[in-house]
Amino acid sequence: MAVELRIPEVGESISEVQIGSWLKSEGERVERDEALVEIESDKATLELPSPVAGRIEKVLKQKGDVVKVGELIAMLVESADGESTVKTAKSADGEKAAPAVPAPARAPAAASALPTPPPAPAPALPSPSAAPPRVMPAAARALAESGLSASSVPATGPGGRLLKEDVLEQLNRRAAAPARESSVPSAAPGKPAGPEEEVVPMSPFRARIAERLKEAQNTAALLTTFNEIDMSGVIALREELREAFQERYGVKLGFMSFFVKAAVDALMHFPMVNAEIRGREIVYKNHYDIGIAVGGGKGLVVPVLRGADRLSFAEIELAIADFAARAKENKLSLEELKGGTFTISNGGVYGSLLSTPIVNPPQSGILGIHAIQKRPVALDDQVAIRPMMYVALTYDHRIVDGRESVTFLRHVKELIERPTRMLLGI
């Protein structure tokens, strides 16, 4: 029975999505609820599951196509498990016969006048590990242009598929080698072996990021204030409690939970940083939902830690670890990306020493934390080496004054440098 695969409702106010990677090919067997294709909205990437067990009859929309909610993107054929791959025959009495297999060759009879020629050896079946990769259409074109063979390119796509990115990566590796013997035909003098440019459509997710960042710059009066924090106290406390914390809660004690706690405390003292502007009104928030910027499979995402003022250090660390793991697999839900009141961005995990983060509208502030670096500092009129971190607060000057922004950041600094204050709630 033919079954239609259409784009479902993926969130409020979302009317169209972009087709991502197809995880299954035409003619391929699929199981019920097995992921078929990635669809990208301006807020998240989702996997669309198969509504039935069967096979994909026809793919109607390709990667990069923009489609409306409710639009038909593929046709499936529903079938029972194994029906599409094993052919059965009916015997005369209506019972199913076993699948036909080649009968083994019999030795010639001793009394036969004419000897029967020996049967041809059956061709050896390739082992699953030796099966050639499934070459996606864009990868096939890239192979044809470059002269590479599919067997010479490592496949990294889902289910062992060979992607266009795999071919381009192999070309880059070969181009970077100082000397090599290659079966690839040499390019004409002065011309590169591969394409000089590649034009791909901007995903709705990336387009939405660009739109909101530009909106922040165009609308808000953004300024950034800086400070530096001596991380000795937090590092010492982590070293002292690391093993006991992980043994009890099953997660490492990181730096982010300290900054979440410090930021929430500072927001309580300086509520304008937790507020937003709506038209000609200021809306003060009495809840503390902290956005945590994490790197995802499709780029930076900001899932929201709701009710952060009510969470323990362990609950914060567990939630952040869960966000990070699911962000890499594009498994975050739309609800988890909505409605933060303040954001923390940790560029230090990528080695950033200093940056000016951009606020996430309609929020009025974002705290940027960075890499820890040992530096000489003046301590009690002596030069000492301390693990130091630069921190930055970008704020909307329309609602937050310079005095409040500076004292907000200084409050965070004081709490991090004396972390036992947060443990005692003072």
Give the burial string for 390-406 (b: 16+ CB within 10 Å, else e). bbbbbbbeebbeeebbe
Active-site annotation holds for 309:
no
- Which tokens hold the place of 152? 């010479």
d(CA 256, CA 261): 9
- The residue annotated as part of the active site, out of 33, 65, 287, 397, is 397
Q: Are the C-beta atoms of 387 and 374 separated by less than 8 Å? A: yes
Give the orientation angle of helix 164-176 with respect to helix 137-146, to 10 degrees. 30
- Beta carbons within 8 Å of 168's beta carbon, 6+ residues apart: 142, 194, 198
Question: Whole-angstrom Cα distance, residue 60 to residue 302?
Answer: 33
Coil, strand, or helix at residue 218?
helix
Torsion of CA 297, 299, 300, 305, to 10 degrees: -30
DSSP bridge partners of 74:
5, 59
* 401 is a catalytic site residue: yes
Strands 29-30 and 54-59: antiparallel
Is residue 22 within 8 A of residue 36, CB to CB? The reply is: yes
DSSP string for 16-85: EEEEEEESS-TT-EE-TT-EEEEEE-SS-EEEEEPSSSEEEEEE-S-TT-EEETT-EEEEEEE--TTTTT
> Which of these is catalytic: 81, 380, 401, 411?
401
Catalytic residues: 397, 401
